[in-house]
Amino acid sequence: MDGEKKMKRLSLFSIVSLFIIFFVMLISISLIGSGTVVTSYEGFALDSNENLYLGEYGKINVYKEGSLLYSVDAHTSRAYAFTIQNDEILISTAETVYITDLSGNVINSYKDTDTSLFNELKSNKDSFSLNGSTYKMQKNFGRSRIVKDDGKVIYQMPLLDYIVKIGILISMLWLAVLAIYLVISFRKKAEHNKSQPANKKSRLK
């Protein structure tokens, strides 16, 4: 009887846990899919006026002192890499390189042979130098922020984005723990059921 009660409690706990995980993941995917929330970045750069260009899904957002000014098309819905050189944006989609002005108007384009430029830009996406200063993308307990070498934080992931990111990580971790726990519990249940007939036979003898 105690075993049956434990299994019932386990089943109820599992159902509630799965419902919570499903709800969290559904809300998170909806927010990410709509562009309301961004949990990772494609890199960053700054122009000569120290405006921040932050790579997000399918676009590059331009910020001035923390306020969003406008967005520039990344010319792809997949991964890309970019930088700014001489106040021109250099974007590589791993197939094509686009050179645009700071407003996103295409000046020139050419093939990214062997994805060499894409790989180079991607490897440097967390660091940018301007006027002798270095800016770096850092993570503070998983929360991305861009910090100047003098310690000034020029951008930090919005709180909602961070909450969603942590929610997804916790949900995935909890799902893995729950799966392991269920496997162990059902194995113990199976072993217990196998031992029952043996105990009954020994009593009959």
- 14-41 tens-digit pLDDT: 778 888 888 888 888 888 888 888 999 9
pLDDT (0 to 100) of residue 15:
78
Calculate mean pLDDT across residues 117-142: 94
Mean pLDDT of the chain: 87
Confidence bin at 80 (pLDDT 50/70/90): very high
Calculate mean pLDDT across residues 160-184: 88
Confidence bin at 192 (pLDDT 50/70/90): low
* Torsion of Cα atoms, 115 then 118 then 124 then 128, to 10°: 140
pLDDT (0 to 100) of residue 203:
53
Calculate mean pLDDT across residues 135-161: 94
Q: Give per-residue burial for 84-93: e unless 16+ CB within 10 Å, then b.
A: beeeebbbbb
pLDDT (0 to 100) of residue 21:
85
Calculate mean pLDDT across residues 187-203: 62
**C-alpha separations of 184 from 8, 34, 37, 181, 191 in Å:** 15, 39, 37, 5, 11
Confidence bin at 202 (pLDDT 50/70/90): low
